[in-house]
Structure 1
Amino acid sequence: MSTALLDINDSNLQLWRGDTHLQSPGYALLDGRNYQFGHSARAAARLRPREVTTRYWWQLSTQPLQPALGPARHSADLVHAHLLQLHREAGQPESLILTVPDSMEREQLALLLGIIETCPFDAVGLVNRSVALAQHLPSGDPVFHLEFQLHQALLTELQEENGQRRLLRSQPLAGCGVLQLQERLIELIATAFIRQTRFDPRRKADTEQQLYNALPTALADLQRSGESNIEINGYSARLNAAALQEASQSLFTGIRDIVGSGGYRLIADPLAGLLPGIHSALPSLAVLASNQLAKARPLLENELPKGDAALALLKALPYSSTATQSSALEPSAAQVAIVEPETEAPRQTAPPRSKGPSHLLQGYNARPLRAEGTPLSGGWELYLDQQQWLLRGPNDSAATVNGQVYSTGRGIHCGDTLAIAGVVAGVLIEVEDTE
């Protein structure tokens, strides 16, 4: 039986199956009578706002959609369609292990499992994602997990008991979801454009969408060097990290109010590492590697129900009694944890560490480039030839670089935005080697 691991967090659903790693944010776009999900839907959020929804995972129910969005009767229909798309893209695994946030209510979990019963795959495991993400930590101070969803942040407290780390409680942080933080950052950046150039990128839908598309790269630049340039429609604004810190102040205050001043460990989803000022505001923060759940998969498989046992939500897992904090979880190394490779690439195929692209930034995650070929979509891939990154793919797919049709032999450089068939595939960035 082929089993995949599906992490359900609407800011970035992730599915692992063998060497396949899919990422799909919880955006649904009505396209005629059909739906697009994930990155392509997010890329249209500012261009076609009335045809995009982001609430169907958060508000999973059978209540009628308000406002209506095409043929879907309710959010459960959209969740069903999104699951089927992920299943197809993953090569149709026979079963899934699900990790879910504590914010998903009992009725929603029951509905989710009911939806899966109508799908061409089975759910064989159901685990609280905070517990799964923290299982590698050794015994010690209490653990808090900071999780970013589209419409809220969630702070989950875990406790140790009889050699296990178990769920204790969770607290939503209203107004601190990805979308709210993004809006505050965009407002500050737009203000910088107006002050420096008198150009407001929010006045037109296409330039506003360009600004949203540029945000992840700008945040990665700010994290590495404290400064970044954003260019929109021929206008350029210079940013510094200090000027954007106020966007997350309510988040920082909310976390400090909950965890207090005593001894504790705070782990966070990779997105946390991109927020300006977070490490000074929360000095004990350790940013999780983007493949942390994939690493936990062997333990999760050991905990699956045996025989005819009913599927139940696991809220406790054994913790490591001998492990030590890995460098990817030390606060001083948080800036590299967000781009930890999903799987270790063969040493002989690693890209050169000289100045130039080293990773493909997709949303808020970075994939390391592989010299022999980094798959994109539609049969296209990025590869290294004579110290130059190039694209190759079928003639019937349209690849563009910065909005221009790609011409064979043209080198790809840091900051270039790649798209396949009109869907953004990512932005080329360089991640400095801190070893």
Structure 2
Amino acid sequence: MAVAWLDLHDSNLQLWHGDLHLSSPGYALLEAGQYCFGQNARAAARLRPRDISTRYWWQLNTAALQPALGPARHTADLVHAHLQALHRDAGAPDELLLAAPGSMRKEQVALLLGIIQQCPFAAVGLVNRSVALASLYADQERVFHLEVQLHQALLSEVRREGTEVTLQKVTALPGSGLLALQERVVEAAAGAFIRQTRFDPRRRAETEQQLYDALPGTLRALHETSETSLSVNGYHARLTRGDLQAAGNMLLDSVVGNLPDASTHGVLLDPVAALLPDVATRLRARVLQPGDMQRALALHEPQLLQRAEALVFVERLPAVAQDADHSPPRDVAEEQPMVATHLLCNAEARALTPDGTPLGAGWSLVVAADGGWRLRAGAGAGALARNTTPCRDGEPVANGDRLQLADGTEAQLIRVSD
């Protein structure tokens, strides 16, 4: 039977087994003496805060659980139960290949492997998740992977040494985790409701949960357009991209001071962080794709398997050739479209830049969440058409598209190969 792959990223644990893909955020809910994990637990986080735990992956240990949560003695019991639930939902694979964050200390890794020995499956490989991801993007001397966990962000430096990439340094960024960023966004959204409708969705648990449930869609909408509307309990409020600036600045402030000024590095950005205003452009970051971890584990699986020996936490991998076929085995990845690299205008090709490429008339091209490009309209932007169809702010554009300004200026997105 095929080895299953498990990504231990507490913001969203992911498991792949054959054609099955599971997502399970690191939330545990105590319900009628039993534990429920993942999406269902997260959906009850504001309704039943005393029955929820989100710290058990981050604080994996055997200290007495404070506050208590049902029969679990410590966070290790909750990790054990979460692993059991994932294993059951994935069809009970016999073997798991694990990707874990660099924030996991040696004693936590040892405890995790001890927990797995009490599970009905075997761990047959263990790799640093930042190294696995960076191996796909090792075209620079140094790469910094910004990982947004539930309770902290993590900045991992990975260096290319010859044909390999190696973990060099891991820096925790306290107070910049997904939950803290989420609170900033909720504060902005609740403020918009109060100003526009005099309704505060945070005053009741039910409406507060509705507001939290609406956040993912709201962030995605504001990444594509400058303003969106959200609804809670029959009330409607407008939210702008500028309203989220505080959350974006919060993350940027914690990251920028830990990055070198030299141009010999790149930044790999979690997709959720790229939804915050200006984060991707200010960091000149590449936004990781949803299938990147799956692709990395598929490519490196043969050398990561350690069935006949004690597991080693792998922190060095071969760099994947930039012109290689990145399609993993088992037909698990979809073909990716060719992304434009330049803007052709008046017989001159101008390179597209992550921090924004001006088009004229108040329009520019900026990086999209999927690593492609989208249109951004500034204040007082004029008319713009894409392939003769009028454009809107936030609209995605693709390689080959033609853009026409009202003054007759025309440009085309093209891809220039190295």
The alignment's TM-score, normalised by the length of structure 1, stands at 0.75
Measure, in 1, the Cα distance between the counterparts of 2:202 and 2:210: 10
Cα contact 2:17–2:90 (8 A) shared by 1? yes
* Correspondences of 1:159-308 after superposition (within 5 Å): 159-263=159-263, 264-282=265-283, 284-305=284-305, 308=308
Alpha-carbon shift at residue 262 of structure 1 (Å): 1.2
Paired amino acid for 2:2: S
* Correspondences of 1:33-432 after superposition (within 5 Å): 33-263=33-263, 264-282=265-283, 284-305=284-305, 308-323=308-323, 327=339, 331=354, 332-337=366-371
Cα contact 1:11–1:178 (8 A) shared by 2? yes
Q: Assess, with a 3 A threshold, how the Cα gap between structure 1 residues 65 and 278 changes in structure 2: closer, same or farther.
A: same
Alpha-carbon shift at residue 139 of structure 1 (Å): 3.2
Paired amino acid for 1:279: A
Alpha-carbon shift at residue 163 of structure 1 (Å): 1.3
Measure, in 2, the Cα distance between the counterparts of 1:9 and 1:335: 19
Measure, in 1, the Cα distance between the counterparts of 2:24 and 2:243: 30
Measure, in 1, the Cα distance between the counterparts of 2:164 and 2:137: 11
Paired amino acid for 1:273: A
Secondary structure in structure 1 of the residue aligned to 2:231: strand
- 1:88-136 deviation per Cα after TM superposition (whole angstroms, max 9, x unaligned): 1111111000000000010010000000001110000000000001111
Measure, in 1, the Cα distance between the counterparts of 2:201 and 2:398: 35
Cα contact 1:288–1:337 (8 A) shared by 2? yes
Q: Which has the larger radius of gyration?
A: 2
Measure, in 2, the Cα distance between the counterparts of 1:257 and 1:96: 37
Secondary structure in structure 2 of the residue aligned to 1:108: helix
Secondary structure in structure 2 of the residue aligned to 1:187: helix
Cα contact 1:242–1:277 (8 A) shared by 2? no
The alignment's TM-score, normalised by the length of structure 2, stands at 0.78
Q: Assess, with a 3 A threshold, how the Cα gap between structure 1 residues 122 and 328 changes in structure 2: closer, same or farther.
A: farther
Alpha-carbon shift at residue 258 of structure 1 (Å): 1.2
Structure 1: which 5+ runs fail to align?
339-429
Root mean square deviation of aligned Cα: 2.1
Alpha-carbon shift at residue 140 of structure 1 (Å): 2.0
Cα contact 1:6–1:16 (8 A) shared by 2? yes
Q: Assess, with a 3 A threshold, how the Cα gap between structure 1 residues 307 and 229 changes in structure 2: closer, same or farther.
A: closer
Q: Assess, with a 3 A threshold, how the Cα gap between structure 1 residues 328 and 43 changes in structure 2: closer, same or farther.
A: farther
Cα contact 2:221–2:228 (8 A) shared by 1? yes
Measure, in 2, the Cα distance between the counterparts of 1:44 and 1:20: 25
Q: Assess, with a 3 A threshold, how the Cα gap between structure 1 residues 138 and 66 changes in structure 2: closer, same or farther.
A: closer
Paired amino acid for 2:368: A
Q: Assess, with a 3 A threshold, how the Cα gap between structure 1 residues 142 and 207 changes in structure 2: closer, same or farther.
A: same
Alpha-carbon shift at residue 335 of structure 1 (Å): 2.1
Q: Percent identity?
A: 51
Aligned length: 343
